[in-house]
Each structure stands twice: as C-alpha cells, then as structure tokens.
Amino acid sequence: MQPTIFIADDDAAVRDSLRLLLASAGYRVRSFASGSDFLAAAPSSEDGCLIIDVRMPGIGGLEVQDRLRAEGIALPVIVITGFGDVPLAVRAMRAGAVDFVEKPFTEEAILGAVDRALELGLQKHKAGAVAAEAEARLSRLSAREHQVMRLLVGGKQNKSIAHELGISPRTVEIHRARIMQKTQARSLSELVRWAIASGVAPGSV
C-alpha cells in the first residue's frame, strides 16, 4: 500500500505547496491545519510519515511527538523549522524526530527527508515483525526449556548447562532437541538470532 504523508502546519500556503509537491511525487497526502487536528484524525497503524511545523499555535511539533510516543505510534516525524527555531528542531530530534527542514525549503530537501523517513519506518516495521515472530517462537518453550535456551545461546556446552542447572547431560540434550523443534530453528546460530530478536539476554537464567 502506498504510504501516506501527513502534513500538519498552520500556514495554509505551506500546507498547499507540500501537498502538491508530494502528490506529484506519487504519495497519498493528508493535511491538517493544527497539531490537535492531526492527533484527532491520524490513524495509528497507517504507514507513512508526518511533516509538522515545530512551532504552531496550540499543540506544536514537540508536543505532537510526545503524544505519538505516549500512544505507541511509531510514525516517523520530520519537523519544519522557521528562522531561529533550530534549537527546537534539535530538541525534536533528540525526542525521536528523524529529520528537520528549515524554511524556506527546497523540493529536494523535502523529498529527501521523506525518503529517509519512510526507509527508517520500513526498517522499524521489519524489526518489529521479526521481534514479534521471535517472541511467538520462544513462547512455545517451557520454563526449563527457556533456562536451557538462554545458556545455549550464551555459548555454554551441554555439560556446563547440566552442572549449572543440576540436571544430567542427557536431559540437556533432550531439552535442546525440544527447543530446536518448538522454535523451528534449523541451527544454533538461528536460535541465537531468534533469542536476540526477542530481547533475551544470552547466558543467563
């Protein structure tokens, strides 16, 4: 699905010029005259990015960012800054904005920022999907299998795991076989990748 570029700016001329530019580049565009209008209407799961003026009457770019983060909406944000607003833009980037563009901006600057924002959003989406699959795979393990798995991906051998957990090496082998079967990992290196993607700290129980 074609990503949607959201625009939130109280300046109608800026909104219109951005909308025309991005539409001509093939993007779907939705524009809003204020940060509050955007927050009220923006879908939480739609792919794309947000271009927002960092300083607007009412809710500005920084507060919109805070609201999105609080609601768990991982929409990449590009902030537009006017003269003297660069410190605000730096604050926005420290808070998670992916880029800022100073007024007056060029078409190349806007389109380049949008490309970077969409690529970053895609990377985060892929990482999130991998993490979700990893968590689903590891959720099939019993508590004891989780313990063995953590030690396995930490590089410990069967005998060391058996000694640490107070079980026999043969029992460790059985757990290991079940872990590989339940997670559908084809190798130890793949199991390590799933563990890391799910946030497991290797080598601990």
Number of separate domains in the chain: 2
As given in the structure block, the two tokens for residue 86 are 């660069």
Residues 47 and 101 reside in one and the same domain = yes
The pLDDT, as a whole number, for residue 9 is: 93
Sequence-separated (6 or more) residues with CB below 8 Å from residue 79: 51, 52, 53, 54, 61, 88, 89, 92, 93, 97, 99, 100, 101
Residue 189 lies in a domain: yes
> Is pLDDT of 203 > 60?
no
Instruction: Find the domain containing 172 and state its range.
Output: 139-197
Residue 59 lies in a domain: yes
Residue 203 lies in a domain: no
The pLDDT, as a whole number, for residue 1 is: 64
Residues 16 and 111 reside in one and the same domain = yes
CA 196/CA 36 separation, integer angstroms: 38
Residues 117 and 170 reside in one and the same domain = no
Q: What is the chain's mean pLDDT, rounded?
A: 86
Residue 205 lies in a domain: no
CA 107/CA 22 separation, integer angstroms: 9
pTM of the predicted structure, to 2 decimals: 0.65
Sequence-separated (6 or more) residues with CB below 8 Å from residue 16: 31
Phi, then psi, of 80 in degrees rounded to 5? -100, 135
As given in the structure block, the two tokens for residue 110 are 């806007």
Chain segment 29-46, per-residue pLDDT in tens? 999 999 999 999 866 656
Domain boundary among 131, 150, 181: 131
The pLDDT, as a whole number, for residue 54 is: 87
Chain segment 148-201, per-residue pLDDT in tens? 999 988 888 899 999 999 999 999 999 999 999 999 988 887 888 888 888 876
Residues 163 and 117 reside in one and the same domain = no
What confidence tier does 74 reach under pLDDT thresholds 50, 70, 90?
confident
Beta bridge partners of 99: 78
* CB of 36 closer than 8 Å to CB of 58: yes
**Domain at 116, CATH number:** 3.40.50.2300
